[in-house]
Amino acid sequence: MNIKFIENGTVTTPMGFTAQGVCASVKPSNKTKRDLALICCEKPCSAAAVYTKNLVKSSTIEITKKHLENGTAQAIIANSGNANTCNADGVAVAKKMCDIAAQTLGVNADDVIVASTGVIGQPLPIEPIINGAEMMRGKLSKDGGTNAAEAIMTTDTVKKEAAVEFVLDGKTVTIGGIAKGSGMIHINMGTMLSFITTDAAVSSAMLSEALGEAVELSYNMVSVDGDTSTNDTLAVMASGLAGNTEITEKNEDYKTFVAALTALCKTLAKKLAGDGEGATKLLICSVANAKTENDAKGVAKSVICSSLLKAAMFGEDANWGRVLCAIGYSGMDVDVKKVDLSFVSAAGEISVCKNGAGIAFSEEKAKEILSEKEITIKIDLKDGTAYAEAYGCDLTYDYVKINGDYRT
């Protein structure tokens, strides 16, 4: 199939969707950055979501789960600057946010997805939400998607948005999305909010299945710092306005849709990893020829999560032993005496290990390769045909600086 990435694509690229983001000063100290977002569809949509696996969860997740029990949603309200987590009045505030969105947009409050991100354990004031929503009344537009992307950012340094186009049942179909996340990101998502829209016609049951498949190969393969957050929410809405025959079973159209959704999610996942707190490099760990997909994924995750390896990549040090070490404690079915390893970037590729043992290589060339902004840690297990990728970043001094005074 032909999946085309759309230039400047965002969450409002699919038919039927508009959005906006404003500075509501959710944190009183914030006077300029957008921190409240609204996304809306012109009609009720099929909808699905996945959430953090942390036992401590934002109150917004409880409300969103309840609202999606019928598989339908029409709007999203999300704020940054405050997580609305571990608050005695958290559920009431989350409900109120849905009411505010409903009144602003003219939709049913039960069809609103709500999400928050920011500092944990501080009460979320409702007045900025009320004021911010009023500022957006009548101002949601097709051009507002990038403003919504900014509004959900916390320590992110860049907005994360993308859209793809493909053909389904003879119809041109689009999927668009935005995401935020920079720190507190680990396998099973992270401090991550992501909102995806599509004009494909797909039932809520199949949308949920497709989202689950896409997440396993994208967001659940990202780690920045080993901390799984309390607020992770990835929600998708499908308007059906593309006019394709509704996907209600796992047929060829379903497979095509999953492939396109996965491509979009992988792109956003890489943007998350590359913008990790304090990061200077995007790390991609590719694992080929594993016995099973589970083995490939397990090895890739183990390597990308290694603090020692991440620090070495920051220092542009081809310390390949740290990769082998991480493979060894991954718990996967691997014959370490078969492992080949190389580092790859725009500056070239250098092999550093063959059959589990070191080989001679140029340290100067290795440093040149590791000086690039995107580095692939290429592993060949030579034990099967399965493949997987995981995404992460280097570990820098700035990560500690950012998190040393995050609340203030």
Angle CA 49–193–5, to nearest 5? 85
> Using the 8-state DSSP alphabet, how is residue 182 labeled?
S
Q: Does residue 16 sit in helix, strand or coil? A: coil
Do 369 and 361 form a contact (C-beta atoms < 8 A)?
no
Do 59 and 93 form a contact (C-beta atoms < 8 A)?
yes
CA dihedral 379, 382, 385, 390 (to 10 degrees): -20
H-helix or E-strand containing 370? helix 363-370
Catalytic positions, written as ranges: 191
In angstroms, the CA 226 to CA 28 distance is 30
In angstroms, the CA 13 to CA 174 distance is 7
Residue 121 CA to chain centroid, in angstroms? 23
Closest CA to 223 of 407, 25, 392: 392
Gyration radius (Cα) of the chain, Å = 21
In angstroms, the CA 53 to CA 114 distance is 18
> What's the full length of the chain, in residues?
408
H-type helices in 106-144, by residue range? 127-136
In angstroms, the CA 186 to CA 166 distance is 30
**Whole-Å CA distances, 276 to 73, 170, 183:** 31, 39, 6
What tokens were used for 216? 């396993």
* Residue 296 identity: A
What tokens were used for 47? 């909808």
Beta bridge partners of 135: none
Residue with tokens 């200077």: 280
